Chains A and B, each alone.
Chain A
Amino acid sequence: MPHRTFFWFILPTALAMILFIGLPIVSSFFQSLHIENEQVLMEVENCDPFGCTTNVRVDVEATEKIEAENPLGRFNGFGTYTDRNHLAFDEIIEAWDNKSSIGEFKDIVLNLPFYKALLFTLTFCFAVTPPVIVLGFIVALSVNTLAKSLKGLIVFGTILPMIVTPLIGSLVLFWMIDSQGIIGASIQILFDDPNLSLKASSNLTWITLIIYGIWHNTPFAFVVFYAALQTVPQDPLEAAYIDGATRFERVRFIVIPHLYPVATFIMLICLMDNFRVFEPIIGFSAEGVAQSLSWMIYQDLRNENKMLFGSAGATSMLTILGIAFLLTPVLIRTWKEFKTER
Chain B
Amino acid sequence: MKKLIIALLISFASTSVFAGSHSPCGVTSGSINILANEFTTYRIFMDEVKSCAGPDADFNVTHSVDHNKLQVAALSANPAEFSAKLVTNGSITPLMNDGLIRPLDDLVAKYGSNLNENQKITIDGKIYAVAFMANAQHLWYRESILNDLGIAVPSTYEEVIAAAEKIKAAGVMDNPYAGAFKSGWNLGQEFVNMYLGHGGEFFKSGSAQPNVNNEKGVAALNVIKKLTELSNPDFLTQDTNAVKEEWESGNVALMHIWNSGAASLLDDEGDQDIKADTRLAPSPTVGGGNKPATTLWWDGIAIATNTSDENAEASFRALVGAASSTDLANNNPNATVWLIKGYTPGDTAGPVVDAASRGTTPYPSFPHMSLMHGALSTELVEFLQGNESAEKALADVEAAYIAKATEQGFL
Chain A residues close to B by CB (< 8 Å):
35-39, 41, 44-50, 55-58, 60, 64, 73-74, 76, 80, 83-85, 91, 111, 113, 178-179, 194-195, 197, 199-202, 284-289, 291, 299, 302-308, 310-311
Contact = CB atoms under 8 A, between A and B. Distances in A.
B378 A299 contact: yes
Contact of B94 (A85, A178, A306): A306
Contact of B298 (A39, A48, A91): A48
Contact of A304 (B89, B120, B371, B410): B371
A179 B235 CA distance: 12
A49 B118 contact: yes
Interface in B366-411: 366-367, 370-371, 374, 377-378, 381-382, 385, 387-388, 392, 396, 399-400, 402-404, 406-410
A199 B367 contact: no
B234 A197 contact: yes
28 contacts: A36-B408, A39-B409, A39-B410, A44-B124, A46-B123, A46-B365, A47-B120, A47-B122, A48-B118, A49-B118, A57-B123, A57-B124, A73-B409, A76-B407, A84-B403, A85-B404, A178-B234, A195-B174, A197-B233, A202-B387, A285-B236, A285-B237, A287-B183, A288-B183, A289-B236, A299-B378, A303-B184, A304-B69
A302 to B, nearest CB: 5
Interface stretch (B95-103, B157-165, B189-197): B95-103
B303 to A, nearest CB: 16
B367 A45 contact: no
B298 A50 contact: yes
A-B pairs, top 3 by smallest CB distance, nearest first, are A288-B183, A305-B94, A200-B233
A20 to B, nearest CB: 21
Contacts of B374: 303-305
B255 interface: no
B381 A56 contact: no
Contacts of B182: 285
A289 to B, nearest CB: 7
B8 to A, nearest CB: 41
Contacts of B377: 303
Given A48-B298, A197-B233, 16 more contacts: A39-B408, A41-B208, A41-B410, A48-B89, A50-B298, A56-B367, A60-B96, A83-B407, A85-B403, A111-B396, A113-B378, A178-B234, A179-B233, A199-B236, A287-B183, A303-B374
Contact of A57 (B66, B97, B399): B97
A238 B144 CA distance: 78
A284 to B, nearest CB: 8
Q: Is the interface of A mostly helix, strand, loop or mixed?
A: loop
Interface in B47-74: 66, 68-69, 71-73
B378 A287 contact: yes
B329 interface: no
Nearest to A179: B234
A114 to B, nearest CB: 11
B381 A288 contact: yes
Contacts of B296: 50
Contacts of A202: 385, 387
Contact of A58 (B72, B183, B367, B378): B367
B236 A60 contact: no
A46 B120 CA distance: 10
A288 B182 CA distance: 8
Interface in B19-34: none
A308 B408 contact: yes
B121 A48 contact: yes
Contacts, number: 165
B345 interface: no
B385 A47 contact: no
A287 B94 CA distance: 24
A319 to B, nearest CB: 18
B241 to A, nearest CB: 12
Given A39-B97, A85-B403, A289-B385, A306 B408 contact: yes
B409 A49 contact: no
A302 B365 contact: no
B339 to A, nearest CB: 6
B131 A48 contact: yes
B121 A47 contact: yes
A200 B238 CA distance: 11
Given A197-B234, A199-B236, A288-B183, A308 B97 contact: no
B54 to A, nearest CB: 29
Contact of A84 (B122, B208, B402): B402
Given A39-B367, A45-B125, A306-B98, A311 B236 contact: no
Nearest to A46: B123
Given A113-B378, A200-B234, A299-B378, A311 B69 contact: no
Contacts of B362: 48, 50
A74 B120 CA distance: 37
A299 B377 CA distance: 11
B147 to A, nearest CB: 27
B46 interface: no
B399 A111 contact: no
Given A47-B121, A85-B400, A305-B94, A57 B371 contact: no
A46 B364 CA distance: 12
Contacts of B184: 287-288, 303
B262 to A, nearest CB: 19
Nearest to A91: B399
Interface string B226-262: 0000001110110000000000000000000000000
Contacts of A35: 406-409
A60 B99 contact: yes
Output the residue of B66, B94, B237 with the most chain A CB within 10 A.
Answer: B237
B96 A57 contact: yes
A83 B66 CA distance: 28
B237 A199 contact: yes
B134 interface: yes
B370 A50 contact: no
B89 A113 contact: no
Contacts of B356: 50
B366 A56 contact: yes
B188 to A, nearest CB: 10
Interface in B101-151: 118-125, 131, 134
A111 B237 contact: no
B95 to A, nearest CB: 9
Contacts of A73: 409
Given A49-B339, A287-B378, A111 B407 contact: no
B336 to A, nearest CB: 13
Contact of B400 (A41, A74, A84, A302): A84
Contact of B131 (A49, A60, A76, A286): A49
